[in-house]
Amino acid sequence: MRPAEFLTKLRHRSPFQVASAALRFARGYVVSCLSFERRALVSVRGRLRIMRRDGTISVGDMTDLWPGVKLSCRGSGGVDRARIRIGRNCSIGDRTEIHAGRLVDIGHGAIIAWDCVIMDRDYHSTDNGPELVRPVTIGNGVWIGCRAMVLKGVTIGEGAVVAAGAVVTKDVAPFTLVAGNPARAVKRVAGWRKGRPSLTISRKT
């Protein structure tokens, strides 16, 4: 994001809001320099837990990381490096955890609420065999409700909505609302009206 665009966003804010935002982005810039693959204009609103080994983390500009977010990026060594990629203009809610053993890829403009878990791995197997690790892909403009879980090998299409408390074990089609455990398609959605988090839901199933 260009400096002029950033200043435009702050034009109608109070001095306190501007100072608070400046502190969040300054903290995020330092974090991005120390822990991310590249420097970025990121808002870090509180404690951020980063666990990284044999992996890389990248976060796009203007993304909000709320208090207690955990980013665990741990590869198995050698060429099997783990990656967490988060796009621009995303919001990752309080205490949400993202665990990558290979790849968790989150598109631009995604909103992930509080206490969510996204993981491409199990950290164990049911038969004492090797751990299963399969990439997770979350498309642009996806909205994931509070306390939802997205498990390994899942792709969530652009503009989809995951209801609060849902457990996603299979792919989600674009512009589809899913709910339940395991999550199932409920209806089609029209995506974001403008910005976030206003949403329109079509009557067609």
User: Across the 205 residues of the chain, what is the mean pLDDT of every consecutive 10-residue run?
Assistant: 60 75 85 90 92 94 95 84 95 97 96 97 79 93 97 96 97 96 94 50 43
pLDDT of 3 = 57
Residues 25/31/32/35 CA torsion (nearest 10 deg)? -170
Q: What DSSP string describes 1-65? A: --HHHHHHHHTTS-HHHHHHHHHHHHHHHHHHHHHSSS----EE-S--EEEEESEEEEE-TT-EE
pLDDT of 196 = 47
pLDDT of 6 = 60
d(CA 133, CA 153): 8
Residue 126's H or E segment, with its range, is none
pLDDT of 195 = 47
Identity of the residue numbered 141: G
CB 41 within 8 A of CB 62: yes
pLDDT of 25 = 85
* Residue 30 φ/ψ, nearest 5 degrees: -65, -45
- Cβ neighbours, 10 Å, residue 17: 11
Domain chopping of the chain, boundaries: 48-201
List, by residue number, the catalytic residues. 108
Residue 93's H or E segment, with its range, is none
Range 48-201 classified under CATH 2.60.40.1120: no
Distant-in-sequence, close-in-space partners of 152: CB < 8 Å, separation ≥ 6: 119, 120, 121, 122, 132, 133, 134, 135, 136
